[in-house]
């Protein structure tokens, strides 16, 4: 049965939701407060990561955050500020950071990532978007110290027992794998199960396809209010129009929390800012990597190599902290001595806000007592990787089909 669906948010989750909903025959409109050319869906590392089985909320992260709180160039930075929502979220994060809860999250994260990886392949094979970068070279976890190597091997063992392809590489093996770049490291864990893309390329091609397929895209249009009547959203008021859709999908990323408050819904989210530097010249890097001690991601993309990273909790803003950009640039040279990121490349650095739930798991599903609202947000650092599967799950929920996996663990109604 065709439904009139309004999607709030034009990031990868919103666009993938539109992609699968239009294929189910629904009438779809996507609203975004921007022109859909910037933000987290454009500045991320482009990883498709079944290997990322450990959620952000894990033992030790709070203590690291406190330790790094006053170091604005640290990989995990929480800006000191008086913010009651952040205090509540931090408490929920602390409660979620237990071995028991992490153990429950691991198989969920692995399953949803595997499904999404296959959907990326299906989208490419369909020809809908034309050709775009989608490679399966894996992900190298490069380490300089034995301590970091041993820590990652513990994660690798969990991944191996879950059936993921993973191997350990010494320095000699690394040099054979990437002979055209010098690496100052001891070794790496190679998650061969992972893939990567170029986000700017995928997003543009997805937008073009949706427009050709009859999806209405409304840009530079901000949601101002949502009206409720008889247990459902009856009207969505924006800066330009009013809408009365049958179904609403809230996929507004870091802005989802503010919008949920307009409906008296509790949806704890904090914006986790990440940065990227593009290097549009040959680097010799052919395989994506995470520079472990620095927590910096490296991706060989179409036309450039991207260096991305950091998790900064400083509220919703677009401030570029130059010391964090410098930290990424310095990490690149520390791990790849031949690479010197130029001042011009650093000056072109961009940031994006990732929506982070307290337990590091996304919110996917119906919420509260509102009969026509579906939530799809809170993906933290897995937003890009989980875009297609989230869109698929949203389409299954609205089409009243059996979902591709059990989504109970992602319920927006869960308690912390």
Instruction: For 23-55, write each residue's pLDDT tens digit.
Output: 999 999 999 999 999 999 999 999 999 999 988
Evaluate whether residue 191 is within a structural domain. Answer: no
| Distance separating alpha carbons of residues 366 and 86, to the nearest angstrom | 24
DSSP H/E element including 249: strand 247-250
Range of the domain at 203: 4-132+196-275+303-319+346-410
Q: What is the CATH number of the domain that holds 99?
A: 3.50.50.60
Residue 81 — very low, low, confident or very high, per pLDDT cuts 50/70/90?
A: confident
**Cβ atoms 398, 366 nearer than 8 A:** no
23, with CB counted inside 10 A (0-12, 13-18, 19+), is middle
Residue 264 lies in a domain: yes
Q: What is the pLDDT of residue 65?
A: 62
Residue 110: both structure tokens together? 């692995």
User: Is 356 inside a domain boundary?
Assistant: yes
- What pLDDT, in 10s, does the model give residues 281-323? 999 999 999 999 999 999 999 999 999 998 888 899 999 999 9
Contact between residue 372 and residue 246 where contact means Cβ atoms under 8 Å apart? yes
What is the 3-state composition of the chain as percent helix, strand, coil, each rounded to the nearest 5?
A: 35, 25, 40
Q: How many domains does the chain have?
A: 1
DSSP H helical ranges for 192-283: 199-212, 256-261
The answer to whether residue 157 sits within a structural domain is no
pLDDT at 355: 97
* pLDDT single digits (tens) 212-228: 999 999 999 999 999 99
């Amino acid at each position: 049965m065709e439904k009139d669906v309004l999607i709030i948010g034009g990031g990868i989750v919103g666009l993938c939701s539109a992609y699968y909903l239009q294929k189910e025959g629904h009438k779809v409109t996507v609203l975004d407060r921007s022109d859909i050319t910037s933000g987290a869906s454009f500045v991320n590392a482009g990883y498709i990561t079944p290997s990322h089985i450990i959620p952000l909320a894990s033992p030790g992260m709070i203590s690291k955050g406190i330790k790094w709180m006053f170091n604005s160039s640290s990989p995990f930075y929480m800006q000191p500020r008086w913010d009651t929502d952040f205090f509540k979220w931090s408490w929920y994060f602390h409660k979620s950071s237990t071995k028991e809860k992490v153990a429950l999250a691991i198989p969920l994260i692995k399953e949803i990532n595997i499904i999404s990886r296959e959907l990326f392949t299906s989208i490419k094979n369909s020809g809908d978007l034309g050709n775009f970068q989608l490679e399966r070279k894996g992900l190298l976890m490069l380490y300089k110290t034995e301590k970091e190597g041993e820590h990652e091997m513990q994660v690798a063992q969990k991944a191996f027992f879950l059936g993921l392809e993973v191997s350990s590489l010494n320095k000699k093996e690394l040099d054979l794998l990437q002979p055209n770049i010098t690496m100052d490291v001891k070794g790496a864990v190679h998650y061969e199960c992972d893939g990567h893309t170029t986000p700017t390329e995928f997003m543009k091609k997805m937008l073009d396809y949706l427009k050709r397929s009859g999806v209405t895209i409304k840009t530079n249009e901000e949601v101002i209010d949502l009206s409720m009547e008889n247990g459902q959203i009856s009207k969505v008021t924006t800066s330009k129009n009013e809408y009365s859709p049958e179904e609403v999908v809230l996929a507004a990323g870091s802005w989802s929390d503010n919008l949920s408050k307009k409906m008296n819904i509790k949806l704890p989210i904090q914006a986790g800012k990440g940065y990227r530097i593009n290097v549009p010249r040959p680097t010799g890097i052919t395989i994506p990597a995470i520079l472990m001690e620095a927590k910096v991601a490296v991706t060989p993309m179409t036309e450039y190599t991207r260096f991305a990273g950091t998790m900064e909790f400083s509220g919703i803003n677009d401030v570029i902290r130059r010391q964090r950009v410098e930290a990424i640039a310095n990490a690149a040279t520390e791990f790849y001595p031949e690479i010197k990121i130029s001042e011009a490349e650093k000056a072109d650095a961009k940031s994006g806000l990732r929506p982070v739930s307290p337990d590091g798991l996304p919110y996917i599903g119906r919420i509260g007592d509102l009969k026509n609202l579906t939530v799809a947000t809170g993906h933290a650092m897995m937003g890009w990787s989980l875009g297609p599967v989230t869109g698929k799950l949203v389409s299954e929920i609205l089409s009243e089909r059996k979902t591709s996996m059990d989504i109970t663990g992602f319920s927006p109604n869960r308690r912390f």
